[in-house]
Amino acid sequence: MKQLVKDALFSAGFHAGRHTRLDDLCALLKSLQPQDCGRGLARVGGDADGGYLLPDDFDGIEYCFSPGVSTIADFENQLADRGVHCFMADYSVEAPPLMRKEFTFDRKFLGPADSGEFITLESWKRQYLPEYKGEMILQMDIEGYEYEVLLSTPESLLSQFRMIVIEFHKLELLFEPYAFRMYRMCFEKLLRHFHVAHIHPNNWDKVTRYGAIEIPHMMEFTFYNRSRSNVRGPVGRFPHPLDRDNVQDKQHVALPRCWYSI
């Protein structure tokens, strides 16, 4: 009966059970507050799923690594229009929905180790750009593997990206102590080299609440390299005018205030 009640509460967007200390959770959310990094944001990609907001700082960017393709390549297509070569990878599809000379596709999943259909970010970059030292873009939507990939990727490689866009999945598990520790390690690793420039909830999934903390289950984070940032302070208003719902026929999910005014 307890489990049935817990499952019912969870399916309704509420967390029941042992939870992360709220002080620890609030401290993490405060560290992730989006910052005005001194540049306006540009939307790259379509007006629904597959479109992201990035700092308008693309000059000199030659390459993007974009694992997670599925049936949408609007983001990569618009980068290619800017002259950026996009390396794409996804084992779940035979090929991207469109191909152009600026695309290189590998039928692989990104993962924490080179094994079978998985390749690491480090090996993937070494395969095509072994000596390249310039700045790049990383856009990653890999259905939950992002945590393992981040923990297994050398910081020397992560810091080479000027901008990183990641869709984080199962964020409601931040309420659970074990998952919280792993997620925090991922975010702390990124924050050593990046500021958070933007957060956008994906309205495909629900929001879980505990007290004053609300966590959308899926959110897109934009990170901007600290070496390029001129931080003017936290962003105090959401959504951004360029934000769009990922799914048009589902209820809008606003970024909860605890993510930007804690």
Partnered with residue 216 across adjacent β-strands are 207
Mean pLDDT of 81-106: 96
Tokens at residue 59, please?
Answer: 């000059």
In this structure, is residue 8 part of a structural domain? no
CA diameter of the chain: 59
The Cα 164–Cα 194 span in angstroms is 9
CB burial string 29-62: b at 16+ within 10 A, e below:
beebbbbbbeeebebbbbeebbbbbbbebbeebe
The pTM for the full model equals 0.92
- Is 51 a domain residue? yes
| Ramachandran angles phi, psi of 147, nearest 5° | -70, -45
Q: Which CATH number covers residue 87?
A: 3.40.50
The residue among 48 and 42 whose pLDDT is bigger is 42
pLDDT single digits (tens) 104-139 = 999 999 999 999 999 999 999 999 999 999 999 999
Domain region containing 116: 20-259
- Note whether residue 15 is domain-resident: no
User: Is 37 a domain residue?
Assistant: yes
With b meaning 16 or more CB within 10 Å and e meaning fewer, what string describes 72-82? bbbbbbbbbee
